Structure 1
Amino acid sequence: MGDLMAGARYLGRGQKWVLGNGRWFGFGLLPALVTLVLYAAALTLLAFRADDLAVWATPFADDWSSPWNGLLRGTFTVLLFAGGLLSAVLTFTAVTLLVGDPFYESLSQKVEETEGGAPEGPDVPLLRSLWISLRDSLYVLVRALALGAPLFVLGFVPVVGQTVVPVVGFAVSGFFLTLELTSVALQRRDVPVRERLRLLRGRKALAVGFGAPLVLVFLVPLAAVLLMPGAVAGATLLARDLTDGSRPDGADDGRDGGRPRPGYPGVGPHLP
């Protein structure tokens, strides 16, 4: 429970930072707004075609008597749209970060400067950086979908599918959302995506505490746009403490004496 609350505090600190730096708040809105328009169009199309897709996917139910065929296809339609919505939540951040890579890199670096300095990132050309971001996002997405697909199937199970599965789904989505958001700061430290995943697996509750509230709020389209700059700022603060060997509340836990962790160039303890 402590790590869950700590993750939520990072989210609050990030929103507080951008609200206190209004120019950066507006700067970070632009990529999210562009992505929102694209996703809104895609989800609208899915909503209009979901019934047809349900009929196409369940031809075996054509001869079923009423109300069973309608019940099956209605459930399929709801789950299909819910799956599309959760997929949009999972990929919204990745696409927004890709579209706004230069925006969020500058925002994240500014956050670090106000917190005591940012490490120099690897000298990588813009196109190469975009390719790395796309490759890493696909790596994360494949793993998220590998967990999401069984949850989609379990959604058909009575009772469990309407109670336990949505909760687990939000937790899984929150974890991977945090993985995406921290990538901006962790790429600057030259931490590969597999190592990022290992870091957050070691602090699952912290990652879920940060990402799950965002998943819930991101279901409201405009909220996703408004909270995205603060989410990047909060994820930057979280990434700093993870790689500095600090506790979630920002206090040194004494495990490595505040020394920089090996393998993360430029990472060290917070300056006073």
Structure 2
Amino acid sequence: MRDLGAGFKHLLKGQRWVARHGRQYGFGLLPGLITLVLYAAALVVLAVWGEDFVAWATPFADDWSSPWPGLFRGFLTAVLFALALLLSVVTFTAVTLLVGQPFYENLSEKVDRDVSPDGTAPESGLPLWRELWISARDSLRIIVRALLWGVLLFALGFVPVLGQTAVPVLGFMVTGFFLTEELTAVALQRRRVELRERLTLLRSRKTLVWGFGTPLALAFLVPFVAVFLMPGAVAGATLMARELLGEETVEEDTENTKENGASSGAPHVTW
């Protein structure tokens, strides 16, 4: 339970950090807005032409007696749109992080420098194209894992009682885990931590990860909300990455800083 609270605190600390750094927050909004527009356009296209696509893909239903072709195709159109929405939720973070790689790398580095005792931030030393390739490759692997879990949970959803109680909860926990992996990857990739190592690291502190990722997954069900929370989520995930790796973190007394323009006491150090 303690780790659950600690994970949620990292999420809140990340939002507070971007609130105190307005310029970073503004730049961090751009990738999410771009991704939201692209996803919205794709969903509108699907809503307008989805029925025509289903009709083209099911010519065998043309000879069925009325009203079965319409009912069958209407059901398939609804399923197609529902799957598109699910895929949007699952992939939104990965695509936003890929689109905004330079923005979020910069934000994460500034968080590291802000809370590091020596004011430095780890650097991967890799060219941008290489970082983008690694990010895209790892994101695709995570999406495949998340979709496999999604298929399993969808099947379990038909089990009486279990499908209506435990499965939705488990679904949000799984989504929260993979969401946290995507977000912490920004900081961990700069430290040259590979995907397999990242997953092992996160599994070693599952309750910490769930405390951070599950509330965020609930909020991210609304993509417009996700846009505004994304910069703070990256900042909070950077703080979590430091804890997972056992790095020393300095936390300033923000209230005193705000009132006096500087910290009135010694920094608080956490591990």
Q: TM-score scaled to structure 1, two decimals?
A: 0.78
* Percent identical: 62
8 Å CA contact retained: 2:89, 2:223? no
Whether the 8 Å CA contact 2:15–2:233 is kept in 1: the answer is: yes
Select the structure of larger CA radius of gyration.
Answer: 2
Aligned position for 2:202: 200
| Structure 1: gaps (5+ residues) | 63-67, 252-269
> In the TM superposition, what is the alpha-carbon distance from 1:83 to its structure 2 partner?
4.1
Separation (CA, whole Å) in 2 of partners of 1:79 and 1:158 = 21
For residues 99 and 124 of structure 2, the distance between their equivalents in structure 1, rounded to whole angstroms, comes to: 20
Distance 1:171 1:75, change over 3 A: farther
Asked if 2 retains the 8 angstrom alpha-carbon contact of 1:115 and 1:271, the reply is no
Q: Which secondary structure state, in structure 1, belongs to the residue aligned with residue 126 of structure 2? A: coil
Query: Match of 1:264?
Result: none
Partner AA of 1:122 in structure 2: S
Given the alignment of the two structures, is residue 186 of structure 1 paired with residue 188 of structure 2, yes or no?
yes
1:166 to partner: Cα distance: 1.8
1:125-146 CA-partner distances (Å, limit 9, x unpaired) = 1111111111111111111112
* 2:95 aligned partner, one-letter code: V
CA drift of 1:196 comes to 0.3
In the other structure, the counterpart of 2:158 is: 156
Cα gap change, 1:244/1:56 in structure 2, threshold over 3 Å: closer, same or farther?
farther
Distance 1:209 1:130, change over 3 A: same
Q: Is the 1:83–1:152 contact (alpha carbons within 8 Å) kept by the matching residues of 2?
A: no
Quick check: 1:175 aligned with 2:177? yes
- Listed as ranges, the matches of 1:79-118 within 5 Å are 81-116=81-116, 117-118=119-120
Give the one of 231, 234, 238 matched to 2:233.
Answer: 231
Distance 1:208 1:60, change over 3 A: farther
> In the alignment, which residue of structure 1 is the partner of 2:167?
165
CA positional deviation for 1:158: 4.1
Q: For the structure 1 residues 61 and 137, does the alpha-carbon distance in structure 2 shift closer, same or farther, using more than 3 Å as the test?
A: same
Partner of 1:244: 246
Residues 216-263 of structure 1 deviation map (CA, whole Å, 9 limit, x = unaligned): 1112222111000000000000001101168xxx79xxxxxxxxxxxx
The verdict on how the C-alpha distance between 1:49 and 1:155 changes in structure 2, with shifts beyond 3 A counting, is: farther
1:202 partner amino acid: S
Q: For residues 21 and 188 of structure 1, what CA distance do their matches in structure 2 show?
A: 22
2:169 and 2:133 map into 1 onto residues whose CA distance is: 33
- The 8 Å contact of residues 91 and 141 in structure 1, kept in 2 or not, is answered as yes
- TM-score, normalised relative to structure 2: 0.79
2: CA distance between counterparts of 1:163 and 1:57?
35
8 Å Cα contact 1:7-1:209 kept in structure 2: yes
Query: Structure 2: any 5+ residue segments left out of the alignment?
Result: 63-67, 251-268
Total equivalences in the alignment: 251
